């Protein structure tokens, strides 16, 4: 009778303690020795299911103590947390060499728990020994997993305490989700030849913070069990109750969640509640526990609380900037009205300012549009029937957006006539946008006339003018974008030796054809006035594109020449034009002759690094021909036995283009015809040429010899007497 009364008292005490601690199931013991056992764990009849069964056994120690074990296994439990962690003690796997038998005595370690995984963040797989290796095998996401670690050492001098880098001790990390673990220890050489060390290999999983390696472990490891952290969860596929509803194992005021890298689910109390979520969570009385931020009065609510103020006060009484304040309705309304009025006034002023600014900007654009001849251009375009549909008058905003507000990273050319930007239009077309440095308002009508003429040019070797913008202070011209850079870059760049004679001849013929077209086939003849290698662009197929008409002039059909201020680039300028200021089509012929010489010699138009007589390329070239030293200044790699005569023909043509007397120079049409003929012979040697044409092509001087020239830095300066009248142009249209 006395024993029954004692048992009843123990049950009543457990029932009273359990609600206070919110750990064990009501009516169940919550301690085994020093280990607290929270639900869903419990002893027989008190656990959620067999996976969470804890067996409490007496030890053989004196006095006897109680120890907790997982289910009916010999896995000792040392700590359980409601947050999903279980600390156990796991046997080490060992393999020891038996000196008497000469064999290994391996002992494996097996850790199999149906619904628990080894914590990857808090454990490590460890091997201790000097002739040792071990395997870690298990399952992860239903698939087999294996890993290994090895440890060797020669003497204690090379073994460091607290270091498991492979000398005496080896450690590796464990992947998440690992279960059903099997640890096997092995020896490389049966521990033979190992002196002063234990003839054993120890392999085990251990909680990282609870293991500090010591070199003394190589003589005698002080323990055969090690602490391991497992992660537990509720498996909703095996629990019949949980299979009906995902969160069925969770008590009231609790919710379920899926932990990272662990199958199944766990439970936790909702906000404002605490306790054991598997038994049910109780409301937290924030007011009595001092967990509120009320400045005056706190009222507890189920799962929360609220703050109140005394009568005659406003706000909610929290200490987060909303303390209780006396009612002052008139002042509050007045302050609120003033604030709203001020805000409305501020918004109105901002809108008015923005409207005025937009209106002024619009008026400024209209002013620039008229100043730059926009109305005249629109009138002339409406009268032209051959203006291509591709030509467009762009707005300033379109081009600003295309160039990222004219960012410096979009600049592709800069020179005396302006700056060229690369832009991408709204339809993804790449264009070159030329912004001139200045414009002469007195020449507004002439500029418009030139735009009308240039936009009608349809030639494969002339950069197309796609449109213009007249809403800015200086007009902007929009050209097609040519991808392969300038002829100057290819002739004088690092890879100039790869630039073949055939390609050079093709480019020369195409450029001459384009200039001939401008001189004689447009509605009004056009003199380019700045022909140079920097203004000849190349596309991906090395097709020549004549660009930059910033210095160009229209020549009325009833005039043979124009009197103008000398413009152009030193080294390319026609001496007769410089002397008389009379611009003719033959001025372009002279400049093209310099381009031909650049293609032949690889030298730049002006060079100040060499002897005085070699500074001006055109003069040096003519002097070399006169002295019979042509082949001394030609680039060696372009001349071979197959094209020697052809190179002579081009050189002789260049000489004729460089005649000081313009009347003695050939027309651009004659130059184009001759170069095209030479190119056709090169491309199609089987084509027969008439006797008259052959005599015309071959009637040249024969006094030539071989040689080469040196490269130097190009300059746009020279001829001091006219420095102030010359402008170096930028390679526009790229």
Annotated binding residues, written as ranges, equal 435
Omega within 30 of 0 (cis) for the link into 63: yes
Q: What is the mean pLDDT of residues 172-191?
A: 90
Range 166-171 contact pairs with CB under 8 angstroms and sequence separation of 24 or more: 168/128, 168/129, 168/130, 168/213, 168/215, 168/217, 168/218, 169/126, 169/127, 169/128, 169/213, 169/217, 170/126, 170/127, 170/132, 171/124, 171/125, 171/126, 171/127
What is the structure's pLDDT at 469? Answer: 85
What is the structure's pLDDT at 5? Answer: 41
What is the structure's pLDDT at 383? Answer: 63
Q: Which of 78-92, 128-142, 260-274, 376-390 has the lowest mean pLDDT?
A: 376-390
Pick the CATH number of 371-480 from 3.40.640.10, 3.90.1200.10, 3.30.1330.90, 3.30.200.20: 3.30.200.20
Global model pTM greater than 0.75: no
Q: Across 184-198, 233-247, 340-354, which has the greatest mean pLDDT? A: 340-354
Task: For domain 487-725, say whether CATH 1.10.510.10 is its number.
Answer: yes
Annotated binding residues for ATP, written as ranges, equal 435
Q: Which of 239-248, 300-309, 404-413 has the lowest mean pLDDT?
A: 239-248
What is the structure's pLDDT at 385? Answer: 57
Cite the active site residues.
530
What is the spatial distance between Cα 267 and Cα 408, in angstroms, rounded to a whole number? 60
In DSSP terms, which residues pair with 55 in a beta bridge? 69
Q: What is the mean pLDDT of residues 687-714?
A: 36
Average pLDDT over the chain, rounded to an integer: 80
What is the spatial distance between Cα 396 and Cα 348, in angstroms, rounded to a whole number? 28
Place of tokens 């203006």: 387
Structure tokens at 730: 């930028």
Sorted by where each begins, the domain ranges of the chain are: 85-232, 285-334, 371-480, 487-725
Pick the CATH number of 285-334 from 3.40.50, 3.30.70, 2.10.25, 2.20.25: 2.10.25
Distances (CA, A) of 311 to 296, 308, 316, 486, 623: 12, 9, 12, 86, 111
What is the structure's pLDDT at 247? Answer: 56
What is the structure's pLDDT at 323? Answer: 66
Residues 420-474 have pLDDT tens digits of: 899 999 999 999 998 876 656 655 666 676 677 777 788 999 998 888 888 888 8
Residues 496-519 have pLDDT tens digits of: 778 899 999 999 999 999 999 999
**Is the pLDDT score of 151 beyond 50?**
yes
Q: What is the mean pLDDT of residues 609-616?
A: 84
Residue 622 DSSP one-character state:
H
What is the structure's pLDDT at 290? Answer: 84
Output 374 or 316, whichever has higher pLDDT.
374
């Amino acid at each position: 009778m006395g024993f029954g009364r004692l048992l009843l008292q123990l049950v009543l005490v457990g029932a009273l303690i359990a609600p206070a601690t919110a750990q064990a199931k009501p009516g169940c013991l919550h301690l085994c020795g020093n280990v607290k056992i929270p639900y869903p764990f419990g002893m027989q009849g008190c656990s959620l299911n067999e996976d969470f069964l804890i067996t409490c056994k007496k030890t053989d120690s004196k006095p006897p103590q109680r120890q907790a074990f997982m289910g009916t296994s010999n896995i000792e439990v040392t700590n359980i947390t409601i947050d999903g962690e279980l600390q156990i003690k796991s046997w080490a796997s060992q393999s020891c060499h038996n000196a008497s038998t000469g064999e290994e005595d391996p002992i494996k370690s097996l850790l199999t728990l149906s619904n628990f995984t080894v914590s990857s963040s808090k454990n490590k797989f460890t091997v201790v020994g000097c002739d040792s290796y071990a395997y870690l095998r298990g399952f992860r996401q239903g698939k087999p997993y294996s890993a290994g670690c090895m440890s060797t050492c020669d003497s204690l001098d090379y073994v460091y305490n607290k270091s498991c880098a492979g000398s005496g001790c080896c450690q590796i990390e464990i992947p998440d989700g690992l279960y059903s673990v099997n640890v096997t220890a092995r020896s490389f050489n049966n521990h033979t030849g190992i002196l002063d060390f234990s003839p054993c290999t120890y392999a085990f999983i251990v909680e990282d913070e609870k293991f500090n390696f010591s070199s003394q472990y190589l003589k005698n490891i002080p323990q055969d069990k090690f602490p391991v952290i497992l992660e537990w969860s509720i498996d909703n596929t095996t629990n019949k109750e949980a299979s009906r509803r995902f969160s069925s194992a969770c008590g009231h005021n609790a919710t379920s969640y899926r932990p990272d890298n662990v199958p199944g689910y766990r439970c936790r109390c909702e906000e404002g509640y605490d306790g054991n979520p598997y038994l049910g969570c109780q409301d937290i009385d924030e007011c009595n526990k001092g967990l509120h931020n009320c400045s005056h009065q706190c009222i507890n609510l189920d799962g929360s609380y609220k703050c109140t103020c005394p009568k005659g006060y406003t706000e909610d009484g929290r200490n987060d900037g909303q303390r209780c304040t006396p009612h002052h309705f008139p002042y509050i309304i007045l302050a609120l009205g003033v604030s709203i009025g001020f805000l409305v006034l501020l918004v109105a002023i901002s809108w008015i300012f923005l409207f005025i600014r937009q209106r002024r900007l619009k008026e400024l654009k209209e002013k620039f549009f008229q100043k730059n001849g926009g109305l005249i251009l629109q009138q002339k375009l409406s009268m032209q029937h051959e203006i291509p549909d591709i030509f467009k008058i762009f707005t300033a905003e379109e081009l600003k957006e295309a160039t990222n507000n004219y960012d410096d990273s979009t600049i592709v050319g800069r020179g005396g006539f302006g700056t060229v930007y690369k832009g991408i239009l709204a339809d993804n077309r790449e264009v070159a946008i030329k912004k001139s440095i200045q414009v002469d308002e007195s020449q507004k009508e002439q500029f418009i006339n030139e735009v009308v003429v240039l936009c009608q040019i349809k030639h494969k070797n002339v950069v197309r003018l796609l449109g213009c913008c007249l809403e800015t202070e200086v007009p902007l011209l929009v050209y097609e974008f040519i991808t392969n850079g300038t002829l100057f870059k290819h002739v004088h760049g690092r890879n100039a030796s790869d630039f073949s004679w055939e390609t050079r001849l093709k480019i020369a013929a195409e450029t001459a054809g384009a200039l001939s077209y401008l001189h004689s086939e447009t509605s009004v003849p056009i003199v380019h006035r700045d022909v140079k290698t920097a203004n000849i662009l190349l596309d991906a197929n090395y097709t020549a594109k004549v660009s930059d008409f910033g210095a160009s002039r229209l020549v009325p059909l009833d005039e043979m020449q124009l009197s103008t201020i000398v413009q152009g680039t030193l080294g390319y300028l026609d001496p007769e034009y410089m002397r008389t200021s009379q611009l003719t089509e033959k001025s372009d012929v002279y400049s093209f002759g310099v381009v031909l010489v650049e293609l032949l010699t690889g030298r730049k138009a002006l060079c100040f690094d060499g002897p005085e007589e070699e500074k001006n390329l055109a003069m040096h070239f003519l002097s070399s021909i006169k002295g019979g030293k042509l082949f001394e200044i030609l680039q060696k790699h372009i001349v071979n036995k197959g094209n020697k005569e052809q190179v002579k023909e081009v050189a002789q043509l260049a000489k004729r283009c460089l005649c000081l007397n313009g009347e003695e120079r050939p027309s651009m049409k004659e130059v184009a015809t001759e170069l095209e003929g030479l190119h056709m012979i090169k491309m199609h040697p089987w084509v027969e040429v008439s006797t008259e044409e052959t005599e015309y092509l071959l009637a040249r001087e024969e006094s030539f010899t071989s040689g080469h020239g040196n490269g130097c830095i190009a300059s746009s300066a020279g001829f001091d007497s006219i420095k102030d009248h010359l402008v170096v142009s930028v390679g526009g249209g790229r």
